[in-house]
Structures are given as C-alpha cells and as structure tokens.
Amino acid sequence: MSENPREIMEFDVVIIGGGPSGLAAAIRLRQLAPDTSVCLIEKGSEIGAHILSGAVVEPRALDELLPHWRKTGAPLNTPVSEEHMLYLTPTRGYRIPILDRVMPHMRNHGNYIASLGEVCRWLGAQAEEMGVEIYPGFAGAEVLTENGRVMGVATGDMGVGRDGKPGDNYAPGMELRAKYTIFAEGCRGSLTKQVMEMYNLRKGVDPQTYGLGIKELWEVPAELHRPGLVQHSFGWPLDDRTYGGAWMYHFGENLVSYGFVVGLDYPNTWLSPFDEMQRVKLHPSFRPYFEGGRRLSYGGRALSEGGLQSIPRLTFPGGMLVGDTAGFLNVPKIKGTHTAMKSGMLAAEAVAEAFLTNRVEPGSYTRRIRESWLWDELRGVRNIRPAFARFGMKGGALYSGIDAMLLRGRAPWTLHTRHADNETLEPASISPKIDYPKPDGKVTFDKLSSVFLSNTNHEEDQPVHLKVRSTSMWKTVNWDVFRSPESRYCPAGVYEVVDEQAAPALQINSQNCVHCKTCDIKDPTQNIDWVTPEGAGGPNYPGGM
Amino acid sequence: MKVLVPVKRVIDYNIKPRVKADGTGVETAGVKMSMNPFDEIAVEEAVRLKEKGVATEIVVVSIGEAKSQDTLRTAMAMGADRSILVETDSVTEPLAVAKVLKALVDKEKPDLVILGKQAIDDDMNATGQMLAGLLGWPQGTFASKVELHDGKATVTREIDGGLQTVELALPAIVTADLRLNEPRYASLPNIMKARKKPMEKITPADVGVDMTPRLSIVSVAEPTGRKAGIKVGSAAELVAKLRNEAKVI
Amino acid sequence: MTVLVLLDHEAGAIRQASRSAITAASKLGDVDVLVVGRNAADAADAAAKLPGVKKVLSAADTTSADELAEPVAALLVSLADGYSHILGGSSANSKNILPRAAALLDVQPIPDVVEIIDADTFVRPIYAGSALATVKSSDAKKVLTVRASAFDPVATEGGSAPVESVATPAGEDTSKFIGTELSQSERPELESARVVVSGGRGMQNEENFKLLEPLADRLGAAIGASRAAVDAGFVPNDYQVGQTGKIVAPELYIAMGISGAIQHLAGMKDSKVIVAVNKDPEAPIFQIADYALVGDLFEVLPALEAELDKAG
C-alpha cells in the first residue's frame, strides 16, 4: 500500500485476540516468566466489544490461573441454582427428568452465570496490571513469515478508502514481531484460516463444524427474575435433521441472557436462524419471562462444534492455536470458556519452555494438551455431536443418553464428521419453505432493529471486508440453486438480494456485520471470504452482554 | 505558541445510551467510553497547528475520574505533548470545569485554548464560552475553520443559515464544530510512544475550585415514542392537512 | 418575577424561534425583551408589537452592532439585576452569547429546555435526545435557551410595549466582525433545514432521485436519503439521514419510498411533523408518521407539486 516500510516493534510474544484464551495465555506467561514482553492485540474497540457467549462458566481454569479471583472482583456473581432441559413441541415443553443422570454433562453445580465480555474485561485488567501490553482497536491483518517461520503479525492499515486507495487519514499498519505468536481469534479466525493453509494443519482431521449462536440481553421485571436459573430447550421449532436449541439464563440485576444455537450443518436453505431464535420466545415455556421486559442488546457469533476429531495440528514454526480458533468447545456441556482458558495457559507453559530450549516450534504444547483434563473432557464427549449429525435429533439424543449413562464416554469407537457445514445445504427447489411469524415489536423483533442494539459500526469509507470471490458463482449457485441462503443465515442483515424478479444481484451491507463468521463457514462453494475490517469496527457489546 | 486542549471522557458515540430502570440517569457502568468526538476534532486542530509550525506545545487536560487517563493518552497518541489529569468523581458541570480551566490557563499561559463545542453526554455547549467569559478573552465558537497569523486568529463560524467570520486577538478561545477537520487515527506506534509522555495529576481542590454542581437531576427518562398519526388518501388531502392542521407549510 | 429574553431578528422581523422563547418566558413571569445589533431600532418596533412583552430594551449602539458575544454578554450582565431568568431561543446566536453571560453571573446555564416545570425546574434532552433529564437549578438567577419546537410562538401583532434605550458597556475590542456568508439556497444544509425531503430504496435509481427536486424547491427543503439509497448508489453519502449519517430535526420531514428501518428513524425521529409516502402499507415508517400516504410515490410526487402550486 504505502511506499514507506511499516514501523516494527519486537516482543517476545504476540497474542492475536483478547478473548478468554488469549488473555489466559497472556496472564500465564507473565506468571511463569515475568520478564517476557507480551503484546496482545484485539480488533474490537475495547476488550469485550466482540465477546458473545451465554454464558455459564465453569471456573475450573480460572481457579488454576487466578485462584484468588473471588477476592479480586471477578464478575462471576450468580451461581447456577436451578436447571432445566426442555423438549419442546409447538405448544408444550417437557422437562427431561433426572437431568443430571441422563445428561451428566449438563451438571452445572459450582458454575456461574456471567457476562463473558465482563469477565474478559476483568481478565484484561489483571493482565495489564501484570504488565501485558493490550492494544484494542487493532486488527491482525497479515501473518508475517520468514523462511517458513511465523514471525508475528502486521496490524491492518487504517484510513484506506472504499476504492482501496489510501485516504486523507491513512495510517499504515505496524509489524508486531515476536518469537512466538499465539492465535487466539475465536471461532473461525481469519488469520488462523491462512495459517491452517500455510502449514496444512487440517491434514488428517475431520472438518471443523460449527453452530451459530444468536443472543439477546433482556432486563426483566424483578418479580419475573430467577437468578441462577439455567434453562435449555431442544426439539421445536427445529426438525429432526437440524441441531440446535435455546438457552435462557437469569443473572445479575434483573438480567436475562436468551439465545438460540443452530448447527450450521443444517440442510434446509430456507432456514433463518434469526427467525428461529425470535419465535422460540413466543413459546409458553419462554414467553412469560419476557412480559414487560426491556431488550437491551443483541448479537451473534459462530461457535466450534467439531470437538476432538476436528482439532487440527496445533503448532507450527513460531506459533500455535489456542481457544475456539482451534476448537476446544465442549458441545454437550455447551461450554468453551474453561477449555479455551486452559488451552491458553498450556500454550503459555509451552512457550515459556520453548524460550528456555530455544525451539522454533513450541511443540510441547500438543503434549501438554493431550495430558491435561481438557483432552480427557473432550475425549469423553467426542461422539455426541457427531451422533446428532449422523442419526438426527432423536437418534442423537438416544445415543448421547446411552453414551452418557452406560458408556460414560468410553466408547471404543469414534464417530466422524464426514462433511463440512457448507456441503450439507440442499437445493431450494426440494426444501420446504418455513413460515415465520412477523415480529410483534414487544417480544419479537426484526433484524435491523436488532442489529441496532449491537452498537455495530464500521468506518464508512473502507473496502468491503466480505470478499465474494466470484459474482457469477453467486448467481449460478447461491441464487439459482439455493435462493441466497446468506440473506437468511446472516444474523445482521448484511446480505440482501436486490431486484429478485428481473436481475437478482447481491447487495452487501457490510456496515451491519457483527463478525459472527457464519458466511465464511456456510457459503456452499466457500465463495465468501471474511477478512478483518478496519480495527475498532464491528459490534460494541455493552456490559452484561 | 502553547495550545491548551481540554478533553472529556464520554460514552462512546456508537453506543445507544440506556436510561437506568430507576430513572436516576443513563447507564455508564460497563459501557464503552471514548474521547468526546468534538474534542478529538479540537486535538486534531492543535496537532495540525503544531505540524504547520505555528504551535510549539500542546497540553491536553481532562477533568474527571481516574480513567480519564485513557482519554489523555489517546490525545497524546494523536500528538499532544503532555497532559494534566484533574481527578474528581464529581459530576463535571461547565461552570466548575471552566473555573478549573481558568486556573490552569493562569498557570500554563497558553495563547489559544481549543475546545470541542459540546460534549455528547450533557450536550451543554457552554464550557468554551464560559471559560472565555471568566478570562475576558475573545471567543470563536462553532468553528469550521481557524487561521492564525500575526497574533490573531481568524475564525469561520457555523451559524444558522450560513457562515460568519470573526477575527480574534490572541489569546483566544475557539470551540470546534464538526466540519473543522477529520481527526487522525491514533496509530499503534504513537499509542506506544504516548505511554511515556508526561501526565500530571492534580485535584480541583489544588486549584481552589468547588465542583459541586448547580443543577441536580430530578429524573431521567426515555422520550415517549412517536405514535402513528393518520392516513391520508391523496396528495390534496395531505397538503391541506400540512397547511391547515400542522401549519408547517 | 421578571424574565429578560434576548431576541434574534432578521431584517427588522423577530425570528420565530425567539417568539417561541417569549411563550416559554411567559410561563415564568413578566417578560422584557432585548434587541441588539444593526436594525435594532426596526427590531425594537417589531418586538414592541409582540403580545406578552412588557418592555423592549434596545441597544442600537455600535459596540454591539455585530452582536458579538463579548459585548452582548457584557450588556446582559449589566442588565441582569432585577431579572430572575435570562432566556434565548436555541439559536447559534443565543448559544454563543448566553453561556458567556452565565459565567460572568456565576451561574450554570440550562440549554435546549423543552419543558418548564417551575421557576427552578426544567426538562432538557441529553445524549442527542436519547434521554430527557429533569433538572433543578440551585442558582438564584437562571440562564436558559429553549427549543423552538417545544413552545408555540407568540403572534407577531397584538402587543404594544414601550421601548427603552440601553447602552452596551465598552469592552476590550479583542474580537472583530469580518463578514457573514449566508447560504443563498441552492439548498439549505440538511442539518439546519426547516423542511427535509428524503428518498429511499423506493426511488429505484439515481435518475429518479432528481424527481425529488421540484418538490424540495417548492418547499425550500433540503434533500436527504436513507442508508439503503446511499448503499445502492443513488446518492452520495452526505445525503444520508440516519444513525450513521446526519441527525436532523426539521419542522417537516417527508419520507418518500423509505421503509423506516430503525437506523433511519434514529436520524429523524425528532422532526416536528413526519410525512411518509410508501406503497407498502406495512412499512415500519407508518408507525411513526403523523401523516401516512400509501401509494406510488411516482404518482404522488407530481400530485403534491400541483397541490403546492395552488394558492394555499
């Protein structure tokens, strides 16, 4: 872009991403080797701006990392006190009995309902106090390599116009060079994607599969608030071939976290995850809680569901992958924070060791992962999500019951995920259309007024960060075969088809993008490439979210 | 020439402000805070004056809680040379802020003070004018252009229906309007360097100012939403209603 | 209690916003008014005719001829004794002058008042109107500006007040008026226009956007656009009204072919009167429009122009 070479700054370690895994890695590094210079960059405008999770947090990793977290004000204040798993029909909800026997992974005693964004802000403060340099508002845009070794990351140029040329306020990116670079971008990281290709990290492992979680934060009248309540549902409105369900967690000051996850291996192109999420609020098992409530925020984010079988090779010369970008989320538990943090801590330990032994590749990370409770945990649940994919919802539920109660996760076999999520969509012509109710403006809402509450903003004059590789492919595949699934699966209304009757074309409202990564995952021919927009853009999820 | 630029930490302009359920104010806990956008413009203008060789030193000051340090660091990353934090947990009203700034002006003796025309939280649009009054200095408010020459500032101001130009003898006060400039990004290298620039910390008591606000908040509420009006059947009916009923044409 | 209102005037006529300020002032007590500047004499005569005005103070001297903040604030301070409140309309002029006077009187000004509860208690918008704050002032004297749209202006005739001459205190002469450039309309600025006509996706293309011009001409309106129209390339970005564009609060906002996504509403919801024309009866904009016309905008546009051409 610019003729002048970029400014360079050297650190011992650079961490890309300020989520739980990146922050845990940063803190652990400074604990083990207090003289290590650690630089952490985060594309959101502040730590927590892009963090979206339910969340029910298992404090296991936090107990190991910062044992005094209770005394130092970590925002984990609402212990889980009541939990239900409901099977929904269109009109009723049936509680699964003896839940902790039938679904032992769901045992939430000792866990906390919290805003993961606030937890990250707290972790960020701890990290800064320990001397980690954190720079929010800067996106990692380019992986730096030299002789096959990752040397760090370059932040994105700022002030580039829509036409790709430097504008009046052009500020070139900076090179952050480090001996070891930790990729902590969360699910479907954009730089991780490049690194996986560069080093063929996915060779021999199952494709990663994903879910899309769409969430709202509500403030409800005090009389309806049941702090500590954890409620999940499955069944209606999804069909047997579509994985997913709703959550509702009560916590804090009259706050309710509500959301819906849809497995992105869904086959029906007419499915709209947003509309499914909205209509479940109308179900009698959920509706009463929203009466007289106020919707505070909205957002969406993909999550990694592949589990053990989909974890790629984790290290490469000069770096490693931590957290959801590698895919450590425990799907049946519906928890990924504790495993993400643990992976970050193990990465820090491996890096500390690599400094001493002067290794190019922090290879002991993989061994540490395999020897930890993280691996045991994921191995125990490895067959559950693939069973749902293989046998459908009913079959999967049956299998997971057997797996949990009889096999206790020690099945001698391992089910595999055979298809990537983008390969499972079926043509529009053979898929049943779904009749979604119109929003009522009180409990259910339209997409645009929802995106409004995510406080999403991007600098207007910048290149569109959603790269459609081939416009003709969009027409012949996305439109002709699937009738533009992206205009339905995107939770932010980024993709719109204009002039459907005469000359259908795709309009991209990139301003709305909440950085969920679903389009990068689900596009049938992988025709959409999500690259990071200018730093500080995207959602600004508020406290409580 | 020394330039003083006051900056305020406010709720980020991208965040939809939320009224607290108890009606005592707008929720600021856990909400992203940033430099007031008009103050960014003021800082940018000062930095441009320095780049032109007109200003020799830029001092930024913020009156507010301890976290206002972040705002001062951003200003220094944009190009300010040093900063002063006047730490207080009190509500910061323009009258008291102007008094604190006057005390600092008396000490620092800048030739020019550039402020944002208003803060996007209280929308007071008063501090610059009040500081000018207390100092007895000339003021050029809502500036869309500022030119300095021979000890004078020629300020083009945005007024209702057009532009007005005034010439002020320095020292003077200028308040920045939206179209004055487009602020630069605080680049990462500059953010890193700004960490080392000096920041002085004092309190309002150190300069003899009582921050007690004159206005007390009785309540804060969301505006009542608009409701649908009436349907009209034709252009003729519409024009008649706009003429005779709404009286807007 | 007696209130002093600083009036804005143009070519010898008192501006509508100032007449609204007089209505507001009347709620607080007896109303005296002050006119300064060139044409102060003509303005004083016009002010004397305003109903509800007890006395007109006129400063026709050269010191405040240009209505600069420094001398006018000093004048206000010299007159302040005996007045419990000093008011102005929320004009650039009042906002420039009144806070300076407030500082000299050691009081905290209260800008953009939309409701007067009592002599000490006022309602004003904060956070660009996202919230309304009711505040109580502990100052003995109050300095406020009031939003014109919140108070109906007094009539231009019906009163007859005495006119008294006052002298502006001599000042330091550190500020000099150079000139004024009023935008002779091609079109008014979007943000300060009294009337705005906006087009949305329904305009269909760039060419069609020009069809808004005859209507805008007749109404003396600025032309705006929704985000959708800008994204579709019908008009450049500086036409955009909305959350990421300009926030406007005109007296009349006419939305042609705009669906009314909340991002757009965020930019115009404070308009005094909203008119929406859209062929979709379910368009969300109809939920907040004062006057809704369901129809084809390409038919409505020429019909509106024809109606406006007829004498009112």
Structure pTM?
Answer: 0.93
Same domain, C152 and C264: no
Q: E strands of chain C, at which residues?
A: 2-6, 9-10, 13-14, 30-36, 53-59, 85-89, 110-113, 115-116, 121-126, 131-137, 142-146, 163-165, 175-182, 195-199, 222-225, 252-256, 273-278, 291-294
For chain B, how big is the Rg over CA atoms in Å?
Answer: 21
The reply to whether residue A452 touches residue C266, judged by beta carbons under 8 angstroms, is yes
Q: E strands of B23-87, at which residues?
A: 33-35, 57-64, 82-87
User: What's the CATH code of the domain at C195?
Assistant: 3.40.50.1220
- What was the pLDDT predicted at A465? 96
The reply to whether residue C108 touches residue B94, judged by beta carbons under 8 angstroms, is yes
Q: Which of A267, A272, A279 is nearest to A243 (CA)?
A: A267
Task: Report chain C residues whose CB lies below 8 A from the CB of B239.
Answer: 304, 307-308
- What was the pLDDT predicted at B10? 97
User: Annotated catalytic residue: which of A39, A120, A187, A490?
Assistant: A490
Task: Bin B25: left if φ > 0, else alpha if -120 < ψ < 50, else beta.
Answer: left
Segments of chain A assigned to CATH 3.30.70.20: 425-530
pLDDT tens sequence across C141-191: 999 999 887 898 899 999 999 999 999 998 888 999 999 988 665 788 888
- What was the pLDDT predicted at B131? 98
Domain range for B171 is 2-245
Specify the 3-state DSSP secondary structure of B217.
Answer: strand
Q: Look at residue C100 and tell me if it is in a domain.
A: yes
- The structural domain count of chain B equals 1
- What was the pLDDT predicted at A109? 87
Same domain, C288 and C156: no
Task: Report chain C residues whose CB lies below 8 A from the CB of B213.
Answer: 108
Q: Which of C137, C171, C159, C156 is nearest to C32 (CA)?
A: C159
* Å between B99 CA and nearest CA of chain A: 33
N residues, chain C = 312
H or E segment to which residue B202 belongs: strand B199-202
Is the minimum CB–CB distance between B169 and chain C shorter than 8 Å? yes
Distances (CA, A) of A202 to A120, A193, A194, B52, B153: 29, 10, 12, 54, 64
- The structural domain count of chain C equals 2
Task: Report chain A residues whose CB lies below 8 A from the CB of C263.
Answer: 448, 452
Residues facing residue A14 across a β-bridge: A39, A181
Least confident of A177-181, A333-337, A366-370: A333-337
Q: Specify whether A410 is catalytic.
A: no
**Residue spans of alpha helices (H) in A146-202:** 190-198
For residues B32 and A45, what is the distance between their CA atoms, to the nearest angstrom? 8
Is the minimum CB–CB distance between B168 and chain C shorter than 8 Å? yes
Q: Specify whether A519 is catalytic.
A: yes
- What was the pLDDT predicted at A3? 58
- What was the pLDDT predicted at C169? 93
Six-digit token pair at A477?
């595949």
| Averaged pLDDT for residues C28-55 | 95
Q: For CA atoms B193, B197, B202, B208, give the dihedral sign.
A: negative
Could you tell me the pLDDT band of residue C65, with boundaries at 50, 70 and 90?
confident
Chain C contact partners (≥3 CB pairs within 8 A): A, B
Is the minimum CB–CB distance between B222 and chain A shorter than 8 Å? no
With CA atoms as reference, the chain A residue closest to B28 would be: A543
* Å between A161 CA and nearest CA of chain B: 14
Same domain, C210 and C303: yes
* Architecture of the domain delimited by A8-68+117-205+312-380: 3-Layer(bba) Sandwich (3.50)
Whether a cis peptide bond, with omega within 30° of 0, leads into A34 is no
- DSSP label at residue A221: -
CATH class of domain segment(s) A78-114+208-305:
alpha beta
The reply to whether residue A448 touches residue C261, judged by beta carbons under 8 angstroms, is yes
Six-digit token pair at C87?
């008011």
Q: Specify whether A516 is catalytic.
A: yes
Nearest to B187 among A49, A171, A453 (CB): A171
Specify the 3-state DSSP secondary structure of A360.
Answer: coil
Same domain, C197 and C148: no
3-state helix vs strand vs coil in chain C, percent to 5: 35, 30, 40
- What was the pLDDT predicted at A89? 97
The reply to whether residue C261 touches residue A498, judged by beta carbons under 8 angstroms, is no
* Å between C174 CA and nearest CA of chain B: 5
Specify the 3-state DSSP secondary structure of A243.
Answer: coil
The reply to whether residue B12 touches residue A45, judged by beta carbons under 8 angstroms, is yes
Phi, psi of A12, rounded to the nearest 5 degrees: -75, -45
The reply to whether residue A449 touches residue C261, judged by beta carbons under 8 angstroms, is yes
Six-digit token pair at C239?
């036409």
Touching C: A residues 435-454, CB under 8 Å: 446, 448-449, 452
Nearest to B243 among C107, C109, C312 (CB): C312
For residues A28 and A465, what is the distance between their CA atoms, to the nearest angstrom? 33
The answer to whether A230 touches A80, Cβ cutoff 8 Å, is yes
The answer to whether A134 touches A47, Cβ cutoff 8 Å, is yes
pLDDT tens sequence across A519-543: 999 999 999 999 999 999 999 999 9
- What was the pLDDT predicted at C263? 87
User: Annotated catalytic residue: which of A301, A368, A382, A488?
Assistant: A301
Could you tell me the pLDDT band of residue A99, with boundaries at 50, 70 and 90?
confident
User: What's the CATH code of the domain at C134?
Assistant: 3.40.50.620
Distances (CA, A) of A142 to B35, B217, C58: 29, 50, 68
* Å between A536 CA and nearest CA of chain B: 11
Domain range for C301 is 190-309
Q: Specify whether A513 is catalytic.
A: yes
The answer to whether A275 touches A436, Cβ cutoff 8 Å, is yes
Residue C62, C-beta contacts closer than 8 angstroms, at least 6 positions apart: none
Considering chain C, what is the average pLDDT of its residues?
92
Per-residue pLDDT for A356 more than 90?
A: yes
- What was the pLDDT predicted at C311? 63
Provide the greatest CA pair distance for chain A.
67
Nearest to A543 among B31, B34, B189 (CB): B31
Residue numbers in chain B where pLDDT is lower than 50: none
pLDDT tens sequence across A435-475: 999 999 999 999 999 999 999 999 888 999 999 999 999 99
Nearest to B30 among A294, A453, A542 (CB): A542
Q: How many CB pairs under 8 A join A and C?
A: 21
- What was the pLDDT predicted at C75? 96
Considering chain A, what is the average pLDDT of its residues?
95
Task: Report chain A residues whose CB lies below 8 A from the CB of C244.
Answer: 457, 460, 511
Could you tell me the pLDDT band of residue A129, with boundaries at 50, 70 and 90?
very high
Task: Report chain A residues whose CB lies below 8 A from the CB of C284.
Answer: 446
For residues A505 and C231, what is the distance between their CA atoms, to the nearest angstrom? 14
Q: Look at residue C182 and tell me if it is in a domain.
A: no
User: What's the CATH code of the domain at B44?
Assistant: 3.40.50.620
Give ∠ CA A297-A298-A300 in degrees, rounded to 5: 150
Same domain, C203 and C304: yes
For residues A324 and A46, what is the distance between their CA atoms, to the nearest angstrom? 20
Angle between helices C92-104 and C69-79 (to 10 degrees): 50
- What was the pLDDT predicted at C232? 85
Give ∠ CA A72-A77-A82 in degrees, rounded to 5: 150
Nearest to B215 among C110, C174, C275 (CB): C110
Same domain, C194 and C161: no
Q: Look at residue C171 and tell me if it is in a domain.
A: no
Q: Specify whether A187 is catalytic.
A: no
User: Annotated catalytic residue: which of A177, A513, A518, A532?
Assistant: A513
H or E segment to which residue B114 belongs: strand B112-116
The answer to whether A76 touches A115, Cβ cutoff 8 Å, is no
Task: Report chain B residues whose CB lies below 8 A from the CB of A155.
Answer: 188
Same domain, C135 and C36: yes
Q: Look at residue C289 and tell me if it is in a domain.
A: yes
* Å between C75 CA and nearest CA of chain B: 13
Task: Report chain A residues whose CB lies below 8 A from the CB of C231.
Answer: 507, 509
- What was the pLDDT predicted at A410? 86
Q: E strands of A242-293, at which residues?
A: 244-251, 255-263
Residues facing residue A251 across a β-bridge: A255
For residues B37 and B14, what is the distance between their CA atoms, to the nearest angstrom? 11
Q: Look at residue C65 and tell me if it is in a domain.
A: yes
pLDDT tens sequence across C97-136: 999 999 999 999 999 999 999 999 999 999 988 899 999 9
Q: Look at residue C45 and tell me if it is in a domain.
A: yes
pLDDT tens sequence across C205-236: 999 999 999 999 999 999 999 998 988 889 98
Share above pLDDT 70 across residues of chain C, in percent, rounded to a whole number: 98
The reply to whether residue A507 touches residue C284, judged by beta carbons under 8 angstroms, is no
With CA atoms as reference, the chain A residue closest to B30 would be: A543
Distances (CA, A) of B248 to B228, C149, C274: 18, 11, 11
Q: Which of A313, A314, A315, A317 is nearest to A358 (CA)?
A: A317
Per-residue pLDDT for A2 more than 60?
A: no
CATH ID of A425-530, from 3.30.1330.20, 3.40.190.10, 2.130.10.10, 3.30.70.20: 3.30.70.20
Of the residues A46, A155, A157, A225, the best mutation for testing chain B's interface (the one with the most B CB atoms within 10 Å of its CB) is A46
